[in-house]
Amino acid sequence: MYAMIPLFVILPLAAAFLIPVIGRFVNGFQKVTSTTVFLFLSLLSLYFMFARDQVSYSYMIGGWEPVRGIPIAIYFTLDGLTVFMLAIINLIAFFATFYAISYIKRYTAENNFYALLCLMVGGMNGVVMTGDLFNLFVFLEIAVIASYALVAFGVEKNELEASFKYQVLGGIASMLILFGIGMIYWKTKTLNMADVSYILSNTRQDTYLLFTQVIFIAGFGLKAALIPFHAWLPDAHSSAPSPISAMLSGVLIKAVGIYVIIRLFFNMFSLSPQVSTLIIILGTVSMVLGVFLAVGQWDIKRLLAYHSISQMGYVIIGIGIGMLILSNNGSRSIAALSIAGGLFHLVNHAVFKGLLFLNAGAIEYVTGTRNLKEMGGLSNLMPVTYSTSLGASMAISGIPPFNGFFSKLIIILAAISGGFYLLASLAILVSIITLASFLKFQKFSFFGKLRDPGNNNIREVPFFMCFSMVALALLCLGLSLLIFPGIREAVLNPAVDALMNTTAYSSLILK
């Protein structure tokens, strides 16, 4: 199984190459190939997650061994956090692709859609696996360039405008990231993250390194759409085809933004109170302002997009509290609890927000509108969409027994245990406002009177779309089981341990 690690990158990139070539001659090739690839990679990631023979893996591309202890190969590394992210990325990609089998028929150039989707997933898989900064940047650009094209896939005025804004701000983010990588290379003369970590551990934390960390936070904060770096997200998420909106919100902002911040600041840089405090502030501002920006929205997808900003605030707060406690040599058990809450909410958000965007796509697919004021009375006509969106709405609002309740509860308990009472209070307040926002969504879309009683075209969406929505709704309930010790130890704990043991990532390569 060790030799299968590169398949996470090879298969999606190979599919992206073959689909435009073979897809024009073989009908349905693009659909079968992409769904098969993502299903296989989902199962492979789950295998690595539950495999007991070895906790971590390191794969050297080309078999280049270290020279005098210096790693010169391109490394793909799989530890608890990497496998955790791979499972999220490929599962959501599978359900989004399966959903798109029916949804994408309203667009032309299906081959291009599936090829770009495979390219985006291959880039994200590469980002979370690569062990050096240069290839991290390369894979990141593969993922985001594909996403630029997918946002503009409808080629209407709004889509093109949203994609242009996304490209401009994404380009600024890429420039900041590349500048930060250059500063790291100037300081350490290496780009291997394990080697950089080893060198920086023997280097005094100075203004140069602090400035470099702030540059990385700005660059990856733009990719993750944290406030005040969020301007591109509402337009991009609302303009993209709904399966792509689910991918952008469910996994892209996490893989190329949140994950990289977590990986760099836990496993490459030394934790510092100043940076940890800055990350907590960004998370708090995103959580609070994001939900207030969402409440006033009447476009379903813009409402969901602003909630993505708010929910990422929960993740960042959980991770940030753990960082601050560890940097101050505080209680490791409280830090582990907070980090577990952040990672738990990360996977929960991928599922319930991916589902909500698929629900929004189903409503638009049938009614032709995203404006809540132009909807109503859909609950009887679209029972699958209604029931799954209700479950997702309860999950994001933190209502038991759905998964969002347990991850928010862990973050709040960790904040109280660590003495962050204001953060705990704000987290509860934001959850209440989130509930109010999604009650509005349910009321105006599914209840009340049907706006056009004579419209006979309103009926439940096709099977492929329903299947993905039902599967994700079941996951919203199933992921609640992560609160139980046995399941938590198999899924969450390895990812938490990869961050708590800050030197483990380096030792995986510098053996």
Q: How far apart are CA 25 and CA 125, in angstroms?
A: 29
Q: How far apart are CA 42 and CA 417, in angstroms?
A: 36
Q: How far apart are CA 464 and CA 31, in angstroms?
A: 12
Indicate the residue type of 185: Y
Tell me the C-alpha to C-alpha distance, in Å, between residue 363 and each of 168, 178, 358, 384, 438: 31, 40, 9, 11, 15
In a 3-state reduction of DSSP, which class is residue 55?
coil
Query: What is the structure's pLDDT at 80?
Result: 87
Tell me the C-alpha to C-alpha distance, in Å, between residue 339 and each of 68, 323, 407, 494: 36, 8, 10, 12
H/E element, 450 = none
Query: What is the structure's pLDDT at 67?
Result: 64
| Cut 0.85: pTM above it | yes
Return the closest-CA partner of residue 505 out of 266, 276, 333, 281: 266
Q: Read off φ and ψ for residue 57, nearest 5 degrees.
A: -135, 150
Q: How far apart are CA 13 and CA 25, in angstroms?
A: 20
| Phi-psi sector, 62: left (phi>0), alpha (psi -120 to 50), beta | left
Q: What is the chain's Cα-based Rg?
A: 22
Task: Give, as one character, the DSSP assignment of residue 484.
Answer: S
H/E element, 59 = strand 57-60
Q: Are 60 and 319 in contact (CB under 8 A)?
A: no
- Length of the chain in terms of residues written: 511
Q: What angle do CA 236, 394, 93 make, to 5 degrees?
A: 45
Q: How far apart are CA 475 and CA 131, in angstroms?
A: 31
Query: What is the structure's pLDDT at 118?
Result: 94
Ranges of residues in the chain with a pLDDT under 50 are: none
Query: What is the structure's pLDDT at 355?
Result: 95
Q: Are 65 and 182 in contact (CB under 8 A)?
A: no
Helices (H), 372-420: 383-397, 403-417
Return the closest-CA partner of residue 366 out of 354, 353, 355, 379: 379
Query: What is the structure's pLDDT at 70?
Result: 67
Q: Are 57 and 77 in contact (CB under 8 A)?
A: yes
Query: What is the structure's pLDDT at 24?
Result: 85
In a 3-state reduction of DSSP, which class is residue 78?
strand
